[in-house]
């Protein structure tokens, strides 16, 4: 009985029915609206924001690295400059030292020379004074001697001579 019988198998899924079309339209439209408004747009924005954030971070890191390199280059330059400066200063200092020493030496020499000349002059002056004094004393002594001789002559000629001799010995020029 069953062999020649076909159960009416209805392939209903291929028949679009108005109810399904209606509800699918409503539900998909709702899905689209709700998901866009409350999920996909905020998520897409957050993702974009994060992407931008990461790009910015990378950019600023790169910039920082470049700045660092720049800074280092500048530092080296500064260091080189400082070294040069130091060398220059040292050189100048040495020059100054040499000049000062040389000047000091000259001055000292000059001073010494001056002192010597002064001393010579002083000596000369004192000698002159001494000579003048000596002359004066010799004159005086001569006068004295002469006076004494004269006084003695009057008494003894031999004695005079003796006496003169004694006096002269006594006078012993110094």
Partner 1 sequence: MRSFSLIIGLLLSFLTVTYGQDQHGDQHSNSASHAEEASAGQEGHGACGCLHDEEAFPEYNPTASAFQHIGDANAFHVAGDFYIPLPCILYAPDHGWTLMMANKFEAHHHGNGSKAIDRYVLVHGEVKRIADTAFPKGEVEIECISHVMESVKGKEVEMPVAVYGGTCYALENRSTLDGGVFGGGITSFYDFSITKNVFTMLLVLIFFFLVFRSVAKTYQARRGQAPKGLQGFMEPIVLFIQDEVAKPFIGARYDKYLPFLLSIFFFILGLNLIGQIPFFPGSGNVTGNLGVTMVLALFVFVVVNINGNKNYWKHIFWMPGVPAPIKLILTPVEVLGLFIKPFTLMLRLFANITAGHIVVLSFVGLIFIFGKSGASMGGSLGGAAASIPLTMFIMAIELLVAFIQAFVFTLLTASYIGAAIEEDHH
Tell me: does residue 72 bind partner 1 (CB under 8 A): no
- Minimum CB separation of residue 62 from partner 1 in Å reads 19
Tell me: does residue 87 bind partner 1 (CB under 8 A): no
Burial (CB count <10 Å: 0-12, 13-18, 19+), residue 145: middle
> Which of left, alpha, beta for 125 (phi over 0: left; psi -120 to 50: alpha)?
alpha
**Would you list the DSSP string of 17-68?**
-HHHHHHHHHHHHHHHHHHIIIIIHHHHHHHHHHHHHHHHHHHHHHHHHHHH
Tell me: does residue 46 bind partner 1 (CB under 8 A): yes
Tell me: does residue 69 bind partner 1 (CB under 8 A): no
- Minimum CB separation of residue 70 from partner 1 in Å reads 29
- Minimum CB separation of residue 64 from partner 1 in Å reads 19
Tell me: does residue 56 bind partner 1 (CB under 8 A): no
Residue 161 CB coordination number (10 Å): 13
Select the span of 14-22, 59-67, 120-128, 140-148 touching partner 1 (CB under 8 A).
14-22
Sequence-separated (6 or more) residues with CB below 8 Å from residue 171: 141
- Minimum CB separation of residue 39 from partner 1 in Å reads 3
Tell me: does residue 118 bind partner 1 (CB under 8 A): no
Residue 148 CB coordination number (10 Å): 14
- Minimum CB separation of residue 54 from partner 1 in Å reads 10
Residues that bind partner 1 (CB under 8 A): 2, 4-25, 27-32, 34-36, 38-44, 46-50, 53
């Amino acid at each position: 009985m069953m062999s020649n019988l076909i159960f009416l198998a209805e392939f209903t899924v291929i028949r679009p029915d108005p109810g399904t079309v209606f509800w699918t339209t409503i539900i998909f439209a709702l899905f689209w609206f709700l998901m866009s408004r409350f999920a996909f747009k905020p998520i897409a924005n957050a993702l974009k924001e994060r992407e931008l954030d990461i790009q910015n971070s990378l950019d600023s890191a790169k910039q920082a690295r470049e700045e660092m390199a720049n800074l280092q280059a500048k530092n080296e330059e500064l260091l080189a400059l400082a070294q040069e400066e130091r060398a220059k200063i040292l050189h100048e200092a040495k020059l100054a030292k040499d000049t000062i020493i040389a000047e000091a030496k000259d001055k000292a020499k000059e001073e010494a020379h001056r002192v010597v000349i002064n001393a010579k002059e002083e000596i000369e002056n004192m000698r002159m004074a001494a000579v003048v004094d000596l002359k004066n004393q010799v004159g005086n002594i001569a006068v004295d001697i002469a006076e004494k001789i004269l006084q003695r002559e009057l008494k003894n000629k031999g004695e005079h001579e003796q006496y003169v001799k004694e006096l002269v010995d006594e006078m012993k020029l110094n």
